Amino acid sequence: MIVTIDGVAASGKSSVASGVARALGVPYVSSGLLYRTATLLGLEAGLHLSDAASLLACLEKRPLRLEALAEGNRVWLGDRELTGDLHSSRVDQGVSVVAALPEVRAWVDAQLRALPEPFVAEGRDMGTNVFPHADAKFYLTASPRVRAERRAQERPEDVPAIEAALVERDRRDTVQSAPAPDARVIDTGPLTLDGVVGTVLAALPTRRA
Ligand SMILES: Nc1ncnc2c1ncn2[C@@H]1O[C@H](COP(=O)(O)OP(=O)(O)O)[C@@H](O)[C@H]1O
Ligand SMILES: Nc1ccn([C@@H]2O[C@H](COP(=O)(O)OP(=O)(O)O)[C@@H](O)[C@H]2O)c(=O)n1
């Protein structure tokens, strides 16, 4: 079974995917973390973030591993854990440039498609491009202000600066961010996190505890 949870930036995808995955007793996988990993390694190597050939060469020679735990995904480069470095404002700003490169998208998609079922996958194009045959698809939204207020709990910047950056990233991500026609759209704004998780679980075709 594959459940996809897509949506705009900071709409709650990873928190909801984690809650759903824990309830189902399956892993979840964050595709955004792979785009963030490509961005971080490109920045650390001093590469131009639109230089697909150099980025790919850099990614393919490194011992990268995504640990798709239900309680939170972790990324490793050999023995070095990258997870804590993947949500900086620097990575936030560069990631949409990297995610626009078809070569990088193919690198991410190949890793996701190699995962053994069952799992929950979250990102932008899980239900449209990567897993169009998924058993259940969801698309999360919330207003830019609500999302910025949530993210302000996790970033040093203030709410207006975060909101402006989120709106700009949504704009750059428009191409790959359309909801699948068969996705259920959930506005997470008026709901608690548990409320969103419960809505997703209640909508699944077959519940697995
Ligand atoms: N109703 C809600 N639904 C989803 N997330 C929420 C909700 N209320 C607060 N949050 C919080 O919003 C923050 C952003 O969620 P996150 O899962 O990181 O989003 P995304 O993966 O879409 O960027 C998290 O701290 C999460 O706990
Ligand atoms: N399936 C995906 C997932 C992420 N991405 C890109 O990766 C970036 C980071 O994704 P994320 O899910 O970690 O970001 P947040 O929504 O958590 O802020 C997005 O802004 C997109 O540019 C994508 O293009 N396709």
Residue-range domains of the chain with CATH: 2-203 (3.40.50.300)
Residue 143: pLDDT over 70: yes
Q: What is the mean pLDDT of residues 189-200?
A: 97
Q: What is the mean pLDDT of residues 58-83?
A: 94
Contact between 98 and 104 (Cβ < 8 Å) = yes
pLDDT band at 207 (very low <50, low <70, confident <90, very high): low
pLDDT at 156: 84
Q: What is the mean pLDDT of residues 36-56?
A: 97
- Asked if residue 201 has its Cβ within 6 Å of ligand 1, the reply is no
Tell me, in angstroms, the distance from the centre of ligand 1 to residue 176's CA.
20
The ligand whose atoms approach the alpha carbon of 104 most closely is: 2
pLDDT at 209: 46
Quote the mean pLDDT of the chain.
95
Q: What is the mean pLDDT of residues 16-20?
A: 97
- Asked if residue 177 has its Cβ within 6 Å of ligand 1, the reply is no
Torsion of CA 93, 85, 159, 187, to 10 degrees: 90
pLDDT band at 155 (very low <50, low <70, confident <90, very high): confident
The SS3 call for residue 150 is: helix
- Asked if residue 35 has its Cβ within 6 Å of ligand 2, the reply is yes
pTM listed for this prediction: 0.96
Non-local CB neighbours of 154 within 8 Å, separated by 6+ positions:
87
- Asked if residue 15 has its Cβ within 6 Å of ligand 1, the reply is yes
Tell me, in angstroms, the distance from the centre of ligand 1 to residue 126's CA.
18
Q: What is the mean pLDDT of residues 10-31?
A: 97
Residue 33: pLDDT over 80: yes
Residue 45 annotated in ligand binding? no
Residue 101: pLDDT over 90: yes
pLDDT band at 71 (very low <50, low <70, confident <90, very high): confident
Residue 208: pLDDT over 90: no
Of 148, 144, 143, 113, the C-alpha closest to 131 is: 113
Residue 17: pLDDT over 60: yes
Tokens of 69: 């735990």
Residue 157: pLDDT over 80: yes
pLDDT band at 154 (very low <50, low <70, confident <90, very high): confident
Of 5, 9, 4, the C-alpha closest to 146 is: 9
